[in-house]
Amino acid sequence: MSARNPGIELDLGWVSRVRVNHPAVLRRAQKIQSWKLVKKGWQAAWLLRAVTCIDLTTLSGDDTPSNVQRLCLKAIHPIRDDLLKSMDMDDKGITTAAVCVYPARVTDAVKTLKTAKSNIPVASVATGFPAGQTSLKTRLEEVRQAVEDGAREIDIVINRTLALTGQWEALYHEICQFKKACGEAHMKTILAVGELGSFTNVYKASLVAMMAGSDFIKTSTGKETVNATIPVAIVMVRAIRDYFWRTGHKVGFKPAGGIRTAKDSLIWLTLMKEELGDGWLKPDLFRLGASSLLADIERQIYHYVTGKYAAYHELPMA
């Protein structure tokens, strides 16, 4: 992970001046989605880059120690060794960026990765994920417990009510408390953009989250009706850019929810390159929150190497 974002004092003047040009954002999004994507060898290389930026995730009510263990082993070996060898990439240590689980499964993930002698971090969702509607005391305790159990990254959810009613000072102070509870763990702040009502609210919430010390801002829990979309991403990454220009602090970006295909991952990488530059094209500053994306990327790499498409049973979870 890159240097932490220390945050700054809440600047309500900056927040109040925010105005987002809705039609301009939609035009830019349309342009990005119409670009021709890289092909062949370049595409395979970009897909491997995407793999290294994935937070391989399971957030299901039926999660068990065994399926978390399988997820961790897949994170360590995300692409079949024979495929990597064909691309001369078998000695590059390609893994996913992190494994993301519920707080109750952190211990299982940490134990599996430690046994496998892997340094892949465990990320835990927290603060009453996905709705964030539990008491502040409970949400803070959940963060502390996940860190105590070994999570090195915490994905918090904001209180959407505070954002929707313009209570930016209260939101700032809540996020500051979550940051303190994270200790040495990096904090990703989930905005749940599908529930914020407008691009202007998304931009303001992004700013407040960064001012409060978020190391990443994340689009969604993956549980909302609307999750990661290109227009919302443009709003968020431009808030990141403005924050960097104003403070010198780099904040990461994590789209999550509905990112399922290799083509999707290429579009997201292209957006980051065009909007924030090559410096953000690494797991320190860019993550893809996904559960099924890796399977499609591995299928596309199998096709690149063999010229054939694999059946899904040929590329098992672990």
Known catalytic residues? 218, 254
175 vs 140: CA distance, rounded Å:
10
DSSP H or E stretch at residue 54: strand 54-57
Q: What is the token pair recorded at 232?
A: 């919302």
Q: Where are the beta strands (DSSP E) in 115-262?
A: 122-125, 153-157, 186-190, 216-218, 252-254
The set of residues, in sequence order, having a beta carbon less than 8 Å from that of 275 and lying 6+ positions away, is: 234, 237, 238, 241
Q: What is the token pair recorded at 10?
A: 């809440």
DSSP H or E stretch at residue 288: strand 288-290
Q: Is 229 helix (H, G, I), strand (E, B) or coil?
A: coil
Q: Is 254 helix (H, G, I), strand (E, B) or coil?
A: strand
210 vs 81: CA distance, rounded Å:
39
Residue 293's Cβ-side half-sphere holds a number of Cα atoms within 13 Å equal to 30
* Burial tier of 164 (Cβ tally within 10 Å: 0-12, 13-18, 19+): middle
Packing angle between helix 230-247 and helix 262-276, nearest 10 degrees? 30
| 74, 56 Cβ separation under 8 angstroms | yes
* Burial tier of 67 (Cβ tally within 10 Å: 0-12, 13-18, 19+): middle
Q: What is the token pair recorded at 263?
A: 């083509």
Q: What is the token pair recorded at 9?
A: 């004092």
